[in-house]
Chain A
Amino acid sequence: MTRVARALRIVAVQARASLLVALQYRADFALDAVLEIASTATALVPLWIVFGHRPGLSGATPELALAVAGTFAVVQGLAEGAITPSLASVVEHVRSGTLDFVLLRPADAQVLLSASRVQPFRLVNVLTGSVLVGVALHRAGHAPTLGEALAAASCLLAGIVIVYAITLFAVTASFFAVRVDNLAYLVGAVLDAGRWPSRVFRGAVRFAFTFVFPLAVMTSFPAEALLGSLAPASVPVAVALAATFAVASRLAFVGALRRYASASS
């Protein structure tokens, strides 16, 4: 238990330090934040057009679509604000050889690397997304019960763990092929498909987005849970998927570290 507590303390300290660094440039921060809020339009305008012509979207109400878009903004904000920047810095460490300095420190490398850099302006999306979800709930006239809120929170947490694990997989790949610094873009590009309710997808694509690259868990499950339309069995599925992804990515990372030859050897 003390090991977990220590790891969490390290993450908290690092997150605070990187937050302070990022907040040094205040004008940039304000501009970036405004831009992030405006970028939510890329999810909203297509929905506005579709629902201008149609009352529903293959079983998804406008409220559900809005709630999914909101959850997407939350997940994307967390992913691009706190997860991918830190892990992208690992790629830089590998290329410049400074990863050795991290590995020499008396703490777990994954813990040290996981909160080494934050982009707080991206976190603004968490607020924007929450507002969208709030508007969706208000429009649907639905107040989530405690159970529904807990189910949504569990699915959201599971989704974030999965995003983290996928990014860690990408970082692990960087030990073998160094020029993958824009792998973060690739992760982001696939995440993009999570902005619509998973009911939009059919057949093999839907299966892939639930189990192989579980976008449905990240965005559709929490939104459906809040609106009270999530099948109860989905929550344990989400948690099991998250656990699988977390363990597998940890094993891949540790395995890759063991093989990592460092820059000096």
Chain B
Amino acid sequence: MRRALARAAHVALAVLRVGLAESFAYRAELLLWVLATTMPLVMIALFDAAARDAPLGGYDRARFATYFLVTLVVRHATSSWVAWQLGRDIRQGTLSLRLLRPVHPLLAYVAESVTSVPLRLVVAAPVVLLGAWLTDPAPLTSDPRALALVPLALAQSLALSVVIALLVGSTSFFWESGVKAMDVVLLVFMLTSGYLVPLELFPAPARQVLDALPFRYQLALPVELLVGVHDADPAHAAALCGRQTLFLSGLGGALVVVWRRGVRRFEAYGG
């Protein structure tokens, strides 16, 4: 048992090291990807103009700036592009190589997603600092209860993103144009995760729908905690984190089932 654990830890470390090395190998490409994530900055411009004379639904100009700058950071810290990688591996058959390795492919994909985060944050830092210098944002929350929940919310956000990306990528097992599934999910994500508009600004009935979808737990929850949206109601914040855990375990279970069926199908084609 102890030897098995030691081996697992050894493998996990090796996989993480490989992932980190890979993300460094394509650093220029990574730079372009990071620089191409400008949407939150574009949103600052819109809402800054909207809140120029009076606050909009509890957000003044400084708070909008904070919200979207934090959104930019959290997006870089918790997004995963593994859906495209997995889709490509399935379509081109390179998944066979991964299946041959003595490491579970899902573990390798997770490692690749997680290890690209630190470098992404380093590259994004100047963009965020420039944004902060241009916009004069409000300070982050100082509420200890909200801050205590942030690490959990961030970790679960990243895990949720990776699981959703792998689930979406797995559609390529069953559908030739599986890459399109990612486009659909990305579109819904943009509209319902708080990426384009703080969720508080949506009308109340719409917000109930947004709370029932997984995407707000992928991005908005840690952002809101950091910006201080939930300072007044820590019980609600904890409940949201609980729902995040539920989504994570439910979708994680679904991933395992879909993956098993998908791999069986993949192997049946002589992959």
Check B47 for interface membership: any CB of A closer than 8 A: yes
Q: Interface residues of A toward B: which range? A: 35 or more
Q: For residue A190, which residues in chain B have a CB less than 8 angstroms away from its CB?
A: 38
Q: How far is the CA of A200 from the CA of B56 in the complex (A)?
A: 15
Contact B35 A50 (CB under 8 A): no
Q: For residue B56, which residues in chain A have a CB less than 8 angstroms away from its CB?
A: 50, 53-54
Check B143 for interface membership: any CB of A closer than 8 A: no
Q: How far is the CA of A189 from the CA of B41 in the complex (A)?
A: 11
Contact A50 B47 (CB under 8 A): yes
Q: For residue B180, which residues in chain A have a CB less than 8 angstroms away from its CB?
A: 28, 31-32, 35
Q: How far is the CA of A189 from the CA of B42 in the complex (A)?
A: 9
Count of chain B residues with Cβ under 8 Å from any Cβ of A? 35
A-side interface mostly:
helix
Q: How far is the CA of A185 from the CA of B191 in the complex (A)?
A: 20
Check A188 for interface membership: any CB of B closer than 8 A: yes
0 or 1 for each of B3-32: is its CB under 8 Å from A? (1 = yes):
000000000000000000000001011001
Contact A58 B177 (CB under 8 A): no
Q: For residue B97, which residues in chain A have a CB less than 8 angstroms away from its CB?
A: none
Contact B184 A35 (CB under 8 A): yes
Check B190 for interface membership: any CB of A closer than 8 A: yes
Residues of B within 8 A of A (CB): 26, 28-29, 32-33, 35-39, 41-43, 45-50, 52, 56-57, 134, 177, 180, 183-184, 187, 190-191, 196-197, 201-203
Question: Which of A41, A42, A49, A185 sits near B201, CB closer than 8 Å?
Answer: A49
* Known pairs A45-B196, A182-B36; A28 contacts B50 (CB<8 A): no
Contact A185 B38 (CB under 8 A): no
Q: For residue B177, which residues in chain A have a CB less than 8 angstroms away from its CB?
A: 27-28, 31
A residues 188-208 with Cβ under 8 Å of B? 188-190, 192-193, 195-196, 199-202, 205
Check A244 for interface membership: any CB of B closer than 8 A: no
Q: For residue B48, which residues in chain A have a CB less than 8 angstroms away from its CB?
A: 200
* Known pairs A32-B180, A49-B202, A189-B36; A200 contacts B191 (CB<8 A): no
Contact B35 A186 (CB under 8 A): yes
Question: Which of B36, B57, B134 sits near A188, CB closer than 8 Å?
Answer: B36
Q: How far is the CA of A21 from the CA of B45 in the complex (A)?
A: 40
Chain A's closest residue to B54 (CB) is: A54
